Amino acid sequence: MTSQPVLTDREPATTNVRPLHVPAPASRIDLAAAERAAADLLHALGIGTDTESLRGTPERMARAYAELFTPPAFDLTTFDNDEGYDELVLARDIPLRSVCEHHLLPFVGVAHVGYLPGARIVGLSKLARVVTHFASRPQVQERLTKQIAALLQSELAPKGVGVVIEAEHTCMSLRGVRAPGARTVTSALLGRLRTDPSSRAEFLYLARRRQGWSA
Ligand SMILES: [Zn+2]
């Protein structure tokens, strides 16, 4: 447990670069239809839209959800691990916002994403991009956690991948059981971070060390 994770965002200088372009999905968003549906929903809930303040609300709702459900495109550029770095690389407290697909209410928290490099490494900002990419759609936290781990596993072929997400679901804190502050924690561990007890312990120790969000 003595080694420290690399927390720089410098991309290594090397010649063998392999970019993976992760495109934004072809937009199937029909803003005008979403706006009409939002107005219908508000009216069905007994909320009129004839005041000055509410007149633009259906349009704002449509735009807000369209933004939440449009993942930005990005390049997941990986590099040869020329220097043979074989310790844990961890990006902790990556801000996360997504929308629960059961209630269409937001959940907000942080992701800790780490890997044990194999033949390839990746710029750390890309770990945050992967989180944002999969969070930008209706989600359940368990699936989101697994999708982030699976993409890194397939693109980096590392010796291990670990993802921990801690989030507060407003469908739990604002309604239903009304448990504000309750956080849901999910993890996905692959490779040596799953099977090797000391690697697993090191990852979980570093990922859970309280700092920053809701310390
Ligand atoms: Zn929910």
Tell how far the Cα of 149 is from the centroid of ligand 1, in angstroms: 22
Using the predicted structure, report yes or no on whether residue 210 has a pLDDT greater than 70.
no
pTM check: above 0.95: no
Judge: domain 17-24+74-208, CATH 3.20.20.70: no
What residues contact residue 177 under an 8 Å CB cut-off, 6+ apart? none
Token pair listed for 112: 């800790």
Q: What are the boundaries of each domain within the chain?
A: 17-24+74-208, 31-68
Distance 107 CA to ligand 1 centre (A): 8
Of 86, 77, 102, 114, residue with least CA distance to 188: 114
For ligand 1, the distance from its centroid to the CA atom of residue 99, given in whole angstroms, is: 8
**C-alpha of residue 33 to centroid of ligand 1, in Å:** 24
pLDDT digits (tens, 9 = 90+) for 21-76: 877 766 689 999 999 999 999 999 999 999 999 999 999 999 999 999 998 888 88
Nearest Cα to Cα of residue 164 among 140, 197, 141, 182: 141
Cα torsion for 29, 33, 36, 40, to the nearest 10°? -80
Residues taking part in catalysis: 100-103, 141, 169, 171
